[in-house]
Structure 1
Amino acid sequence: MLRFACSQLVVERTDPLVNPGMKYTPHLHQIVGGNSFNVTMDPANDPAKLSTCTSCSFVQDKSNYWTAVMFFHHKNGSYIRVPQTGNGGPQGKLINKGGLDVYYIPSGKVTAFKKGFRMLAGTASNTDDNKVAKGNICHRCWDSPNENTFVGAQPCSGTDTVAIPADPKCKMIRQTIIFPTCWDGQNLDSPNHQSHVAYGQGSGATGGGSCPSTHPVKLPQVMYELMWNVTNFSDKSMWPTDGSRPFVYSMNLGGSAAHGDYVFGWEGDSLQKAMDNGCNLNNACPKAGLTTQSDAQYSACTKKQQAPENVDGWLQALPMGDMAIKA
């Protein structure tokens, strides 16, 4: 499988998948990947050709990946973004400047995504944990202060929860978003950005099980992994006393609303070759023409906000409509 780091390209209120053409969308996102990311992301345009750099470690991957942002809610009513850290684990440490880690996990012969392909996992408005498959979207309380000390078993198993953990013993919260692995073979997108794909049998980071007849084409399993460092917020005296959550995503909702967006942008057939040739982890792979860049190089690929507002530091309220105002 491929497993590699992507640093933050930009943090802003845009979402060209759900709200194309709109600036100051309903909630804040963190975006990684190719620097041709823009408000509209016209499917006719190829990010692989338009991007001059990528914030991901594979040079050939100009795709864009984005998620909501996690905030800490102080009992005085103010909010601050939870910092992020690189991810350790059995496969080794990845270095991120914000952002997330991306996995492409094949299960047998898979068909790589086509130019113009995009999809969405999760529902940003969902408030019911029971409507989320824990095997696909989950959170883990990481009670080690070091992300290199692996906690638990495979993603979305064991004591992992749909809800964002609210426990002072958590030093970090690992978020996992697993995308569908079955495609209808025809549509590169759909009106809800979900119905052209489907989850196969089974769940978790297994590469996906057998596909339904409606979606017979097996895709690589895309998985996002994010490490939110909540160490500085473990003092419960800072937490809200009115029963509201200490940790929320930028929609002011909990883990049930966690979601991830994906726009394909690998150069040529490099991803197909990577899957066919067993390219592994974040290593250069000559058989597929994959080359890597240093963390200093990919972290230097950034973009100015297209919806400018200062989202750093303590904020009076979540940026959801009105411009962000400092606390």
Structure 2
Amino acid sequence: MQLALLGAVALLTQNAAAQNMLRFACSQLVVERTDPLVNPGMKYTPHLHQIVGGNSFNISMDPATHDPPAMSSCTSCSFVEDLSNYWTAVMFFKARNGTYKRVPQVGNGGPQGSLINKGGLDVYYIPSGKGFRMLAGNAVNTDASKVSKGNICHRCWQSTDDNQFTGGAPCSGSDTVDIPMSTSCKMIRQTIIFPACWDGKNLDSPNHQTHVAYGQGSGATGGGACPSTHPVKLPQIMYELMWNTSTFMDKNIWPADGSNPFVYSMNLGGPAAHGDYVFGWKGDTLQQAMDKNCNLNKDCPAAGLHAQSADKYNACTKAQQAPEEVDGWLKALPLGEMAIKA
């Protein structure tokens, strides 16, 4: 990463289109049980992830030798120059009969109108203050009180129209750490906001978290003032995922014990939501994009940014490195044992 990745804090408001920030679609690269950040070199990691970005993603990605811009031949994200990798856990529907099915993902139009996603997620780089990596959230946490609602949250979307904005700024208002469980929620928007303060020294840390920190701000506001231990401002990175739950609204198939039918691939709820990030922008294009006030998912000649058409980034996929069935009805979540079709 260009270590001078600094700039002025920009406030994200509901009228996000008026802000100069990158906001773009990333389609599904692969869904598999690998995690080169937490479990490097391991096939069939403890839980399933959906991964987007550069196709050099692999099970090890040794930071000393892995160079995503040089090693990737395509990216499933909008900008040709972004060969980074972004990944999260996967949401499943848990049926009364004990089977599970992956909840489909759609784009989130927001201020741009429709963003086209083939699975995947939307990524924001909100201006604020090689080999950079970080993780947001805790994959084993079950306590919502240990999660800041301003950083990781869920929103009930009462329509399948992703262009019909619901509520205020991300992670505000009635948003919850827990996954909503109501038949009025035709979609559930998940938001993961990463720390925007860096210690200025380490590109990673043993737990992939202590080299970065959250500032005094809450939500998608650029991060706020940084603590003295982490004085360097980074662009605030935010993931948005739209889980289309509309086909699972028959309460007759929800768990008989009244538990939430929507869980992440760790078989845990919202407090365990998490996201991973490995930097892979070409050269100094991200620095230039911040400096030149590039906006949304458009070409930005001043920074050398080129937006691909949806058919181009949708076509960038990768075969599973840990092969198993992850679609359709499964007898159990793939947790340790191989997934088995119901």
TM bin, normalised by shorter chain, reads over 0.9
> Cα offset for 1:162?
0.1
Aligned mates of 1:76, 1:179 — CA distance in 2: 37
Aligned residue in 2 for 1:240: 255
Number of aligned pairs? Answer: 321
| Of 141-150 and 166-175, the range deviating more from structure 2 | 141-150
Aligned residue in 2 for 1:136: 151
Alignment of 1:189-228 (within 5 A): 189-228=204-243
Aligned residue in 2 for 1:104: 125
Aligned residue in 1 for 2:12: none
Aligned mates of 1:215, 1:145 — CA distance in 2: 40
1:9–1:35 Cα contact (<8 Å) kept: yes
Aligned residue in 2 for 1:124: 139
Secondary structure of the corresponding residue to residue 90 of structure 1: helix
> Cα offset for 1:88?
1.6
Root-mean-square deviation (Å): 0.7
| Of 81-90 and 301-310, the range deviating more from structure 2 | 81-90
Aligned residue in 1 for 2:9: none
Q: Which amino acid aligns with 2:166?
A: V
> Cα offset for 1:93?
1.7
Query: Structure 1: which 5+ runs fail to align?
Result: none
> Cα offset for 1:11?
0.1
> Cα offset for 1:91?
3.2
Deviations 1:233-266 (A, max 9, x none): 1111110012332000000000000000000000
1:145–1:172 Cα contact (<8 Å) kept: yes
| Of 233-242 and 5-14, the range deviating more from structure 2 | 233-242
Q: Which amino acid aligns with 1:166?
A: M
2:113 corresponds to 1:66 = no
> Cα offset for 1:37?
0.1
Secondary structure of the corresponding residue to residue 93 of structure 2: strand
| Of 88-97 and 250-259, the range deviating more from structure 2 | 88-97
2:30 corresponds to 1:10 = yes
Query: Structure 2: which 5+ runs fail to align?
Result: 1-20
Alignment of 1:158-173 (within 5 A): 158-173=173-188
Aligned mates of 1:116, 1:84 — CA distance in 2: 29
Aligned mates of 2:154, 2:84 — CA distance in 1: 24
**Which residue of 308, 321, 325 maps to 1:310?**
325
Alignment of 1:47-86 (within 5 A): 47-86=68-107
Q: Which amino acid aligns with 2:49?
A: H
> Cα offset for 1:144?
1.5
Secondary structure of the corresponding residue to residue 147 of structure 1: coil
1:144–1:151 Cα contact (<8 Å) kept: no
Alignment of 1:251-270 (within 5 A): 251-270=266-285
Q: Which amino acid aligns with 2:62?
A: D
Aligned mates of 1:322, 1:182 — CA distance in 2: 38
**Which residue of 40, 52, 76 maps to 1:20?**
40
Aligned mates of 2:68, 2:88 — CA distance in 1: 19
1:120–1:194 Cα contact (<8 Å) kept: yes
Deviations 1:248-298 (A, max 9, x none): 000000000000000000000000000001000000100110001111100
Aligned residue in 2 for 1:183: 198
**Which residue of 34, 42, 45 maps to 2:54?**
34
Between the aligned residues of both structures, percent identity stands at: 79
Aligned mates of 1:17, 1:164 — CA distance in 2: 25
Moved >2 Å (runs of 4+): none
Q: Which amino acid aligns with 1:302?
A: T
Aligned mates of 1:207, 1:278 — CA distance in 2: 14
Aligned mates of 1:270, 1:90 — CA distance in 2: 24
Aligned residue in 1 for 2:16: none
Aligned mates of 2:162, 2:89 — CA distance in 1: 21
Aligned mates of 1:212, 1:105 — CA distance in 2: 19
Aligned mates of 1:172, 1:302 — CA distance in 2: 25
Aligned mates of 2:258, 2:35 — CA distance in 1: 31
Q: Which amino acid aligns with 2:107?
A: G
Aligned mates of 2:266, 2:283 — CA distance in 1: 36
